[in-house]
């Protein structure tokens, strides 16, 4: 069970480290993606575009290494909820977005169903890891 837990933490954290690095590597492209949601005016869109990749990288590393894992899971699960809300608002308003979640997809617009399904799957994994963490902590006490 410990090996499976470690692999799941590596998978979950690794997804966010990868996503964060891709965004941090080309912040102007990610800024355009953030602006495509039409939810934040400048300069807030720019602040988010500069801050979010590093939050994902640090949160992912926390989940992988175990150092501040509880906080990393909280931040990343909270981020997924925020992403789901932002995607849902854009879909509801009929806004054509470029997600930018894992860099430039090359698509002019995003497939909302795929984005929501992916984020719900990641959130389910994150909540499972939170449950595993809580259960492990309860056994140690």
- Share of the chain residues as helix, strand and coil, in percent rounded to the nearest 5: 80, 0, 20
Asked whether residue 61 is assigned to any structural domain, the reply reads yes
Domain that holds residue 11: 2-136
CA distance 77 to 141: 25
Q: Say how far apart CA 29 and CA 23 lie, in whole Å.
A: 8
Write the pLDDT tens digit of every residue in 82-95.
999 999 999 999 98
Would you give the DSSP letter of residue 61?
Answer: H
Domains identified in the chain, total number: 1
pLDDT digits (tens, 9 = 90+) for 95-117: 888 877 877 655 656 789 999 99
Convert the pLDDT of each residue in 62-72 to its tens digit. 999 999 999 99
Q: Distance between CA 73 and CA 60 in Å, rounded?
A: 8
Indicate the average pLDDT of the chain. Answer: 92
8 domain-assigned: yes
Write the DSSP symbol of residue 26: S
For residue 39, what pLDDT band results from cuts at 50, 70 and 90? very high
Euclidean distance between CA atoms 92 and 32, whole angstroms: 20
**Residue 117, domain member (yes or no):** yes
Which among 22, 7, 6, 8 is positioned nearest to 126, based on CA atoms? 8
pLDDT value for 108? 59
pLDDT digits (tens, 9 = 90+) for 10-19: 999 999 999 9
Query: Does residue 141 fall inside a structural domain?
Result: no
DSSP state of 2: H
- Residue 78 to residue 55: CA distance in whole angstroms: 11
Residue with tokens 């994902």: 56
| pLDDT of 99 | 79
Residue 51 falls inside a structural domain: yes
Assigned domain for 90 exists: yes
């Amino acid at each position: 069970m410990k090996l499976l837990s470690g692999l799941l933490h590596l998978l979950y954290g690794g997804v966010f480290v990868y996503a964060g690095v891709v965004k941090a590597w080309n912040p102007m492209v990610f800024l355009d993606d953030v602006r495509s949601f039409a939810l934040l005016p400048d300069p807030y869109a720019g602040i988010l575009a500069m801050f979010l990749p590093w939050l994902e990288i640090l949160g992912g590393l926390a989940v992988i290494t175990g150092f501040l894992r509880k906080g990393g899971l909280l931040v990343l699960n909270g981020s997924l909820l925020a992403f789901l809300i932002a995607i849902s608002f854009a879909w509801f308003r009929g806004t054509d977005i470029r997600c930018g979640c894992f860099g430039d997809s090359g698509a002019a617009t995003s497939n909302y169903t795929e984005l929501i399904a992916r984020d719900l799957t990641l959130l389910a994994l994150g909540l499972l890891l939170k449950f595993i963490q809580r259960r492990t902590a309860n056994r140690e006490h």
